Every structure is written in structure tokens, then in C-alpha cells.
Amino acid sequence: MIELGEVTKRFQGEAAVDGLTLVVRKGSIFGLLGSNGAGKTTLLKMIAGIYKPDEGGVAIEGETVYENPKVKQRMFFLPDSPYFFPQSSIEQMARFYRSVYPGWNEERYAMLGGVFKLDTKRKLSRFSKGMRRQAAFWLAFSCMPDLLVLDEPIDGLDPVMRRHVKNLLFQDAAERGMTVIISSHNLREIEDLCDHVAIMHKGRLVLEKEVDDLKEDTHKIQIAFREQAHEQVMEERLDVLHKETRGSVVLYIVRGEREDVSRIVKSFDPYVFDVLSLTLEEIFIYEMGDAGYDIQLILL
């Protein structure tokens, strides 16, 4: 379990992360979203023990991260541009990680050679950006960390590699209980991958939820009433996040258990009633709108 308690980090007096409290449970794949400058990288660097919080603390399994090599040996931080020693190859980087990560798994390193198919002797500086990112994932997965912290890592990979990396993330989370914290600007990516999401804005969390809860709790429904008067009475009984009228059909975004919503709507005997599925992006737009934020300004 990762616990952040009232964590603040300032640069030149300005808070990049501002009194943020968060718990990430073991084995979770946790997605962190937010606009440019929201504080995601700063937060990830505090979780990885690279930055020391000015206030509050970060603990992994109850132990402080900053300047704690024992905890750091169990985690891997993959920044948005992976760092390798100058002039080094994958083989040389593997030698380094082998010496510092007690969990390094030789068999896995060899097996992943069949997935990433990169020349292990070639200088990493001669690789393309995407290839360097693949190399970083290869090394990270071979270290078998308990916590993998990823700063916008997947966007530069081609679709085939993205699929491979996602499968490895799912596998390690499910089979070994590896925790993944991943920042991204790509909602669809997060929707596919994560079981939990948080949105940051100006150094704070504005929304944090299980993806399944978000999906189970929010519904898009289309209704047409026989009796116009039913519309208002029904709305009073539902938790309406959004409403749009399209001719005789009314489209609602509502919060609540699906069965409860259906029961209430059906009691008004509508002649059209459909429940449609919502994407994570739509849910965010309505949830954040309800909380007084314009998602377009926060994410897009």
C-alpha cells in the first residue's frame, strides 16, 4: 500500500503539489490524469523518492521512501524520457540493474528478448525514441519491482508494443501483486488499463475513484414520456448530472444503481427507454462539470 499524507512540494515558493492525500492499494493499476503543469510528475517523483516533500510524507508498506534504498530496490521509476548511462547498451544497463535490484530475474530478461527484439549490444543513444522506451520497459520488467511508477510511458510506443506492454502490466499486477502508478494524457489508455483513476488540477486531486464504480454508478438514458408532466416529477427522483432534449426524446446522465434508475423510470411508463453505455471521458465530463470544473480546461 502506498500512502501519501497531506503532501506538498513547492518550487520557488509555488506549490506544484498542494496538501495532497492519497492511498493506492497493492496490486492496483492506478491512473493519474491532469493538464500540463497539474503536478503529476512532481507527485510521481515524490512517490519514487526522487523529491523530498516539503510537507507531509510518502510511505510504501509503512516505510518512508525518501533516502531509503531498501524501499527503492523494490520500485522502478520510468520517467517520460528514460535515462541510460552515456554510450551504454541494453546489455550494459542490464548489468547495472542486475547489480542493484535484488529481484532481477535473468529468465524473464531472456524471455522478454523475444518480445522486444532489440539489439542488446547497440548503443541506446542510436535507438529511436520508441525503441529507447521499449528498452526501458524491458529492463523495468526484468527488475520485477513491487511498484512500477510510469510517467507518460506508453504514448511513444507503436500499437503492437503498446499491447505487449499492457499485457505485461496486467500480468504482473494480477500474478505478483505489482502496483502500477501511471500518468497519462490519454483517457482511452487509462480506461483500458487502470482499475482506479485520479484527476489532478493545480496540485490537488479533484476526483479519485474506482473505474468500475464510476461506470456502475453513472448511466446515460434516453426517455420519451407519454405524459409530459412526468418529466419533472421523475427528475426530482433521480440524481441528474446532465439533461438534453432531442425532439420528443430526453437524454439524461444520471447517477445511481442501474436497477434503481430503471425502476424509477419505468414507474412513469415511458414509451422509449434505453440505457446506453458511457465512455470514461463522458463520465469525467459530467462528473467534473457537476463538481464545478470544466474538464476541457483540465484534461483536453
Does residue 245 belong to the site contacting ligand ATP (CB under 6 A)? no
Residue 108 CB contacts under 8 Å (≥ 6 apart), including other chains? 141, 142, 144
- Work out how close the CB of 15 gets to ligand ATP at its nearest, in angstroms, rounded to a whole number: 8
Does residue 149 belong to the site contacting ligand ATP (CB under 6 A)? no
Does residue 277 belong to the site contacting ligand ATP (CB under 6 A)? no
Does residue 38 belong to the site contacting ligand ATP (CB under 6 A)? yes
Nearer to ligand ATP, 101 or 293 (CB): 293
Does residue 155 belong to the site contacting ligand ATP (CB under 6 A)? no
Does residue 150 belong to the site contacting ligand ATP (CB under 6 A)? no
Does residue 20 belong to the site contacting ligand ATP (CB under 6 A)? no
Cα separation, 27 vs 130, in Å, equals 27
CA nearest neighbour of 112 among 72, 155, 142: 142
Is residue 209 within 8 A of residue 58, CB to CB? The reply is no
Does residue 300 belong to the site contacting ligand ATP (CB under 6 A)? no
Interacting span for ligand ATP (CB under 6 A) from 40-48, 204-212, 243-251, 259-267: 40-48
Cα separation, 65 vs 41, in Å, equals 16
The type of residue at 283 is: I
Is residue 88 within 8 A of residue 122, CB to CB? The reply is no
Among 36, 87, 245, 277, binds ligand ATP (CB under 6 A): 36
As given in the structure block, the three cell numbers for residue 169 are: 502490466
Find how far residue 281's CA is from the centre of its chain.
13
Does residue 297 belong to the site contacting ligand ATP (CB under 6 A)? no
Residue 140 CB contacts under 8 Å (≥ 6 apart), including other chains? 76, 78, 148
Nearer to ligand ATP, 37 or 177 (CB): 37
Does residue 184 belong to the site contacting ligand ATP (CB under 6 A)? no
- For residue 108, CA distances in Å to 82, 91, 103 come to 20, 14, 11
Does residue 96 belong to the site contacting ligand ATP (CB under 6 A)? no
Does residue 201 belong to the site contacting ligand ATP (CB under 6 A)? no
Is residue 147 within 8 A of residue 76, CB to CB? The reply is yes
Does residue 40 belong to the site contacting ligand ATP (CB under 6 A)? yes
Does residue 34 belong to the site contacting ligand ATP (CB under 6 A)? yes
Cα separation, 155 vs 148, in Å, equals 17
Among 1, 37, 243, 266, binds ligand ATP (CB under 6 A): 37
Q: Cβ–Cβ contacts within 10 Å for residue 76, how many?
A: 25
Does residue 11 belong to the site contacting ligand ATP (CB under 6 A)? yes
Does residue 102 belong to the site contacting ligand ATP (CB under 6 A)? no
Binding site for ligand ATP (CB under 6 A): 11, 16, 34, 36-42
